[in-house]
Amino acid sequence: MKKRLLPLVRILMKVFPIHELIKEVQRQDAISICHRLSTSSKDVVFYETAKVVNTQLDKSKIIIGGGTHIGGMLFITGYGGNISIGENCYIGEHSKIWSAESISIGNDVLISHGVTVMDTNAHEINHKLRADGYINLHKVGDKYLKGRVITKAIVIEDHVWIGFNCIVMKGVTIGKGAIIAAGAVVTKDVEAFTMVGGNPAKVLKKLSEF
């Protein structure tokens, strides 16, 4: 009986690819979670590579404007953090927007793949506190407290373009229309309509405002 059924099962799987249907259901579930954990317009697009980690379980902590496409990760810690993304932005695959304080991204901002924007040191500077904090993190998980971890808000203004594999560190403001060249590490403010590059990022040239 089993031998007779096998050819029929194979034919059915070709006509109705069940594994593809399962993958699609899983993809839609993951996208639905992204929407549930953020305050996002209906026309916000989450790619299948997107992930939203809202440890505070407060949708108002992650706000995404209309026309924005998310391919990377948005993450806020349990002890603090806010992410605000404007309209018609793009967050590329494997990019990470991690907040323990505040990250504000304006309108028409393009963030390429592999970019990290992080407003926190994540760990303590003092070696003993850092060791204790790491152990405590694994014990209490989401209930982990900030302690002496240093955090500073990040502001990325309208029309900024951040190239692939860049790092934007805590406390930085990137002015309107600026371009961050691929692979740059931004540790200081960037003026409007300025291109920077390198590690640490330095001014490469001024850009036209028109």
Active-site residues, by number, are 123
Do strands 73-76 and 96-99 pair parallel, antiparallel, or not at all (unpaired)? parallel
CB of 134 closer than 8 Å to CB of 113: no
CA–CA dist 166, 112 (Å, integer):
9
In 10 A of CB 30, how many CB atoms? Answer: 16
CA–CA dist 173, 157 (Å, integer):
8
CA–CA dist 86, 65 (Å, integer):
5
